[in-house]
Structure 1
Amino acid sequence: MDRKAEILSELIDRRGSRRAFAEEIGIPPTTLQSMLSRGVGRASIDNVIKVCRALDITVEELVVMADIQEPETIAAHHEGDNWTEEELEELERFKAFVRSKRQLQGD
């Protein structure tokens, strides 16, 4: 599985069922599974765009997220905080944004 497919898999799995996600965006579940297992580069651009839009990211953001090296450890303390699934997704998008900004600045 390529890095882009790993990212999409993680984001989709946080939402729940892959089958339900595929049906929600109007692609066959087998097509989504193929994209995630064979790699995003082998999928049709239309399907990649549908998946990204449903996840509220752009294809460009997906590419940037895939190119960024993950630090070995990210420490975050949420002592007593209860985050909704939507808030956790927003935090992930923000982290990706900060990483992409860092990469563009050459740090």
Structure 2
Amino acid sequence: MSIEQELKQLMIAKSSSVRQFAIDVELPYTTIMSMLNKGIGNAGVNKIIKICDYLKIDVDALAEGRIEEKMNHGSNLSYSEQEHIEKYRSLNKDGKEIVDIILEREYQFLEYRKKIEDIKGSEK
């Protein structure tokens, strides 16, 4: 099985179809299909990184023609999550405090919405 066929299977497993995967990863469907049909070797680096990040596969392994889950030194962080942590660590005390406040507020809002949806679901 080619690397493109393996990628297609992963895309479908993750998003139910290649079209839905393109929507999820925010890349044009035609770009994804071109990569799968003509080979990933001609695709732009940023697009490859975006796809690998979404699928949680290692970019270096893909460049070598194989698919491996991303190894983040024992963590399960995506590339963008790692970038966020690096940026957070570079902030001063006040900057970290602001980020913490916003993150906590968003998390509490998410939890509130989940509770509301659970209540609505149990009423049916």
Class of the TM-score when normalised by the shorter of the 2 chains: 0.5 to 0.7
**1:64 Cα offset (Å):** 5.0
TM-score (norm 2): 0.48
Identity %: 34
Alignment partners' CA distance in 1, 2:6 and 2:45: 17
Aligned to 2:51: 51
The one-letter code matched in structure 1 to 2:53 is R
**1:42 Cα offset (Å):** 1.1
Q: Secondary structure at the match of 2:56?
A: coil
Structure with the higher helix share, 1 or 2: 2
The one-letter code matched in structure 1 to 2:13 is R
Q: Deviations over 1:47-97 (max 9, x none)?
A: 111111100112113245629xxxxxxxxxxxxxxxxxxxxxxxx84xxxx
Aligned to 1:72: none
The one-letter code matched in structure 2 to 1:28 is P
Aligned to 1:3: 2
Aligned to 1:21: 21
Q: Which aligned segments of 4 or more residues in structure 1 are displaced greater than 6 angstroms?
A: none
Q: RMSD of aligned C-alpha atoms?
A: 2.5
Contact 1:11 1:55 in 2 (8 A): yes
| Greater Rg by CA | 2
Aligned to 1:41: 41
Contact 2:12 2:21 in 1 (8 A): no
Alignment partners' CA distance in 1, 2:40 and 2:62: 10
TM-score (norm 1): 0.55
| Unaligned stretches of 5+ residues in structure 2 | 70-124
